[in-house]
Amino acid sequence: VQYRIAVLGATGAVGRKMIQTLERRNFPFESLKLLASERSAGETISFAGQLIEVEVARPDSFEGIDIALFSAGATTSQVFAPEAVKRGAVVVDNSSAYRMDKSVPLVVPEVNAHAVDHHQGIIANPNCSTIQLMVALNALKEFGLEHVVISTYQAVSGMGQKAVDALRSEVEEWRQGGRITPTLFPLASQDAHYPMAFNVLPQCDVFLDNGYTKEEMKLVNESRKILEMPELKVSPTAVRVPVLYGHSESVAVRFQQPVSPTQAREKFAQATNLVVLDDPSQAQYPHPLMAEDTGETYVGRIRQDLADPNTLLFFVVADNLLKGAAWNAVQIAETLIQRA
Ligand code: A2P
C-alpha cells in the first residue's frame, strides 16, 4: 500500500527535516504535497529526485490525503487539523495544540506505540525535550521512577528557522564590532530581549503564573501522560543555550530502590534507538554536535548520586529537529501503518 502524504509547514525548520526523513526512510508514498503560508507559495523543495512546489495551505488541500504531518505552530494546527480529519486524513501534529487532549494519543513509539491505536484522527508528537527524556526514562521504568529532576540545555532551532538565522547573525554582528543588538531571544513576543550568542538564558517560552515556563510544564505534563504515571514527580528547569541543533539534558532520577550505574547501563543498552556513550577514561559522552543529523538518543555520564543510592544522574542528548520532532513524527506515521 502506498500513502498520499501532506506536510504542513514544509518550509520550516522541522518541516524540511520531515521531508528529508520521509526520503531517507523510503516511506511508502504515492504522492507528497507540501503546504505552507502564502509567504512561500511557489517555492520548490526537492524530494526523491523531483522538485515539488510549495502550495498555500487551505482546508481543501487535505482532500485525498491519507497522512498529514503538521509542523506550522499551534494556531495553524487548530485551524487545519479538524479540516484534514474531516476529509479522512490522519494528522500527526508536532505542535502543542492537542498534546494534553484526552482523546489524542501523545506518542514516542519506543515507549507507548500502543497508544496510536486509540486515535480519533489526530496523534500528537510530544515536545522535543520530552521525547528524548522519555526514551531514556522508559529504559529504567522497572526500577520504579519516583522523582525526576531535569535541567535542559536547548538548541535555538527549537524556536524555528528564524532563531537559527538570528543566532548566526548575532555571531556575525559580534565578529564585526563586538556589539549585539538582541531582537529575538529568549522570545520574539516579549519586550525584554537578551543576546543569545555567548550567553545562556533560563527561559524557554513564556512564564506561567506558577513561575515555571510553558516549556518546563510540558516536561511535567507530557512525561506523565506518555509514561502513564499521572503522579510522577518532575522538577524541570529549561534553559536555552547558543547551540544550533541538539538538546542536552542533565537528569537526576530517584527510584524506589537503589540502582547502580552498571544496572542502568545494561537497561539503557537494551533499549531501542538509545545509544550509551559513557567512558570517562576516554572522555566519551554525548554532546549535541555529535548527535546532529541522527535519529538516536544518546546517554552518558551515568553515575550514582553521592548522597543517595536510590538516585542516578546522567546526561541525555538528541537532535531536537529529528528525534525531537521530524523523525519521531515519521516514526508515528510508520507505527500507524504497521499497526493498521
Ligand atoms: P512559511 O515559511 O510560509 O511562513 P518555523 O518553525 O521554522 O518557523 O516554520 C514554521 C512553518 O509553518 C513554515 O513552513 C511556515 O510557512 C508555516 N506556517 C506558519 N504559519 C502558517 C499558516 N498560517 N499557514 C500555513 N503555514 C504556516
Indicate whether 102 and 178 sit together in one domain: no
Indicate whether 242 and 169 sit together in one domain: yes
- Quote the pLDDT of residue 178: 85
Task: Respond yes or no: is residue 147 known to be catalytic.
Answer: no
Q: How far apart are the C-alpha atoms of 236 and 157, rounded to whole Å?
A: 20
Taking Cα atoms as reference points, which of 106, 141, 129, 104 lies closest to residue 332? 106
Indicate whether 218 and 312 sit together in one domain: yes
Indicate whether 335 and 238 sit together in one domain: no
Please give the tally of structural domains in the chain.
Answer: 2
- Quote the pLDDT of residue 305: 98
Residue bearing the CA closest to ligand 1, atom 9: 12
Q: Which domain holds residue 240?
A: 130-320
CATH, residue 116: 3.40.50.720
As given in the structure block, the three cell numbers for residue 275 are: 545509544
Indicate whether 313 and 330 sit together in one domain: no
Indicate whether 175 and 228 sit together in one domain: yes
Residue bearing the CA closest to ligand 1, atom 18: 72
Residue bearing the CA closest to ligand 1, atom 22: 37
Residue-wise DSSP of 175-236: HHHS-----SSS-TTSS-----TT--BS--SPBPTTS-BHHHHHHHHHHHHHHT-TT-EEEE
Indicate whether 305 and 159 sit together in one domain: yes
pLDDT in tens, the chain (340 residues): 899 999 999 999 999 999 999 999 999 999 999 999 999 999 999 999 999 999 999 999 999 999 999 999 999 999 999 999 999 999 999 999 999 999 999 999 999 999 999 999 999 999 999 999 999 999 999 999 999 999 999 999 999 999 999 999 999 999 999 899 999 999 999 999 999 999 999 999 999 999 999 999 999 999 999 999 999 999 999 999 999 999 999 999 999 999 999 999 999 999 999 999 999 999 999 999 999 999 999 999 999 999 999 999 999 999 999 999 999 999 999 999 999 8
CB distance 111 to ligand 1 below 6 Å: no
Mutate which of 7, 8, 11, 184 for ligand 1? The one with the most ligand atoms within 8 Å of its CB, which is 11
Task: Respond yes or no: is residue 204 known to be catalytic.
Answer: no
Indicate whether 51 and 162 sit together in one domain: no
CB distance 13 to ligand 1 below 6 Å: yes
Indicate whether 7 and 91 sit together in one domain: yes
Indicate whether 174 and 309 sit together in one domain: yes
pTM (global) more than 0.90? yes
Mutate which of 16, 76, 189 for ligand 1? The one with the most ligand atoms within 8 Å of its CB, which is 76
CB distance 19 to ligand 1 below 6 Å: no
ipTM score assigned to the predicted complex = 0.98
Report yes or no: 295 and 324 within 8 Å, Cβ to Cβ: no
Indicate whether 334 and 225 sit together in one domain: no
Indicate whether 293 and 193 sit together in one domain: yes
CB distance 286 to ligand 1 below 6 Å: no
- Quote the pLDDT of residue 144: 98
CATH, residue 176: 3.30.360.10
